[in-house]
Structure 1
Amino acid sequence: MKGRLILLDEIAGRKAAALMVDGQLDDVLIDVADDAPPAPGAIFRAVADRPMKGQGGMMMKLPDDDKALFRQAKGISVGQSLLVQVTSYAEAGKAVPVTDRLIFKGQAVIVTPGAQGINVSRQIRDDEKKLRLLEVLHETSAPERSHGVIVRSNAINVQDDQIAEETEALLDLADSVLNDTGDQAELLLGAPDPHTLAWRDWLQGPADTVVETPDAFAQHGVLDALLSLEDAYISLGSSSSIFIEPTRALVAVDVNTGGDFSAASGLKANLSAARALPRQLRLRGLGGQIVLDTAPMAKKDRRQVEQVLRAAFRADPIETALVGWTPLGHFELQRKRERLPFPKGLII
């Protein structure tokens, strides 16, 4: 099936969402387990617990005995309460990363408390569309409020009245959270669930089809695609392949040429791996340090592989830093932990 298909369903009682693009699974989201660390986007009232000497950070108390790490803690004293937002999932055994720069994200706009002004995404290059969107925002209460508003690129696919309604709702939500007067650790705003995230971040316009039925995944082949994610092996077509194997320290990606013994086999396999890597990491929910062990190729070909990697990750929604080549010829990446690894054993 050509086009974009957004499927909203459940897996083992957990809400889940899948994005199919031209009949291929492109992204998947699933609710985390009850004992998972706090999810990115959640907003807490945290209490300063103890300073991290020499690091300029502060350990913060969260509800349920969870701990958070706030890195820019200058001027924060022990016992002081602070509104913080989770930025990424915590690694096993480590504190939850948080920031005091809160954002309230919608489908068309993002509200940024403490950063006044109305700005339009740089991805919207059409001057007429920019002007229309700015006019919509100036007809709301945004110019008089103490919060900033960023118009997302997806706003061009949203009706004017919906943009205005969402803007007002997010401004009110920001006021409600910021006016909190408590002094004990407490969850103030939960992270969005997979269905909400799918509506917010995947829906690009009327051409997208949304299916919300109890058997949506089974009908469209999502379950079979998810089951294949439990295998480290990924075929890249022809004879080349990659193996993606997460360890505690890093995610290792091994590129193989298979039965291709031609002079250009290494470069071809590495280019195929570079194009496939963002989607595979996204589907598997993998982040942190990524080490790409490329197939043998001439040193002069590294630049071409890096260019393809940068182009591939530029279109990926998860922030990824391309660090560069190591003395051993590996390529290193650092990927934000926006998701937890896709749980094994859920698909039967």
Structure 2
Amino acid sequence: MKGHLILLDHLNGPEGAVEAAALLRDGKLEDLQIDSTAPRPGTVYRAKADRPVKGQGGMFLNTPDGSAFLRQIKGLAPGDPLLVQVTGFAEPGKAIPVTTRLLFKSRYAIVTPDAPGTNISRQIKDDDTRDDLLQIAHDVFANHPVAEKGAGLILRSSCDGADEDAIAEDIAAMADLAEAVLNDAVGEPEKLTEGDGPHALAWRDWAMEAQIETEAGSFENHGVLEKIEALFRPEVAIGGATMFVEPTRAFTAVDVNTGADTSLSAGLKANLAMARDLPRQLRLRGLGGVVILDVAPMPKKDRPAFEGALRAALRTDDTDTVMAGWTPLGNYELQRKRARLPLSELVTPEMLE
């Protein structure tokens, strides 16, 4: 089908149904969220400082879900209670990554306790719309106790064209949640809020106009199970060329093959196709960390065009990725935040049968 389709379903895991959500655009799988037993990003803990890590400028913390690691520790001493939020998934054997810069995020609004002021997404261009949103923010948020304590508000791009009452309710809900958490900062380690699961994330972040299906079996009906199964194969067709996405323990390697095209521009065309599809492939496979691109041979004068295409593609992705640049051997390196668990840790072949 044409357009966006959001499917809210479950996969059959070894311990029962696992919540999952899929976003399709024109029949192509664009995004995938699958739940896990790991602490979800966005979870807020009241933690207790444990011990500093010499040479790394960080400190281990005690939380109800195990050890966490915090990098910003100025003025923090062992035994101090503090509020922290999970920022991503821990690598095997490592502590949960957390930050003290809390964000209370929903479909339309983000409350920022450490950043006062009201900001509106730059994607909203219409001046009248921006003025209306500022008025809603003033009416709902300006006199809220959490705002009086110095919290700020961000209105997301999804506010454009949304119902004003829904926006106001969202702002009030996030402000109330932030106030409740900030007032509960003292005590023994405790989980104060749970991060959003796949269905809540779909509602929160997939705000485009879309058809939504929530019936059990929707993944199977729309071929999502087959699309997930294909993600376990390294080979990806990109037009007439091919790229191979292969994660290792140290990094993810991406190799580009021009295939049967032997023209002078074959390398550039294959590399541009890879650049446009790479963020989607990494997102769907849950791959982060170091990514090394073994691009197809092309003249150095074509490198800026490749970098521009890659930068544009990464701009549409919600995972922070640093374009580190070219190596002496002509590979291109990226450093990508580990915002998701690898698909291989979330799904087994039995779950797709």
TM over 0.5: yes
The question of whether the paired residues in 2 share the 8 Å contact of 1:46 and 1:82 is answered with yes
2:20–2:34 Cα contact (<8 Å) kept: yes
**Equivalent residue, structure 2, for 1:283:** 284
Residue 57 of structure 1: how far off its partner (Å): 1.2
The DSSP-based 3-state class of the residue aligned with 2:172 is: helix
Distance in 1 between residues matched to 2:282 and 2:185, nearest whole Å: 41
Q: Is the 8 A contact 1:288 1:337 kept in 2?
A: yes
Q: Deviations over 1:249-293 (max 9, x none)?
A: 111111111122222111111111111101111111111111111
1:1-348 paired onto structure 2 within 5 Å:
1-12=1-12, 13-32=17-36, 34=37, 36=38, 38-64=39-65, 66-144=66-144, 145=147, 146=149, 147-204=151-208, 207-238=209-240, 240-342=241-343, 343-345=347-349, 346-348=351-353
For residue 246 of structure 2, what is the amino acid of its counterpart? E
* Aligned amino acid, residue 341 of structure 1: P
Q: Which amino acid aligns with 1:230?
A: F
Would the aligned equivalents of 2:40 and 2:197 in 1 still touch at CA under 8 Å? no
Q: How well do the aligned residues superpose, as a CA RMSD in angstroms? A: 1.3
CA deviation after TM superposition for structure 1 residue 203, in Å: 2.1
- Judged with a 3 Å threshold, the aligned counterparts in structure 2 of structure 1 residues 315 and 142 are, in CA distance, closer, same or farther, namely same
**SS of residue paired to 2:213:** strand
TM-score, normalised relative to structure 1: 0.95
Letter in 2 for 1:197: L
Distance 2:63 2:249 in 1: 25
SS of residue in 2 equivalent to 1:134: helix
Opposite residue 58 of structure 1, the aligned amino acid is: M
| SS of corresponding position for 1:10 | strand
Aligned AA (2:311): R
Q: Residues 174 and 275 from structure 1, CA distance in 2 versus in 1: closer, same or farther, beyond 3 angstroms?
A: same
Deviation at 1:181, TM superposition (A): 4.6
Maintained 8 Å contact 1:290/1:335: yes
Contact preservation (8 Å) 1:115, 1:148: yes
Structure 1 contact 142–171 (Cα < 8 Å) conserved: no
TM-score relative to the length of structure 2: 0.94
Question: What is the aligned-residue identity percentage?
Answer: 52
Distance change >3 Å, CA 105–CA 181, structure 1 → 2: closer
SS in 1 for 2:160: helix
Q: Aligned pair count?
A: 341
Structure 2 Cα separation of the partners of residues 93 and 141 of structure 1: 42
SS in 2 for 1:139: helix
Structure 2 unmatched runs, 5+: none
Amino acid at match of 1:94: K
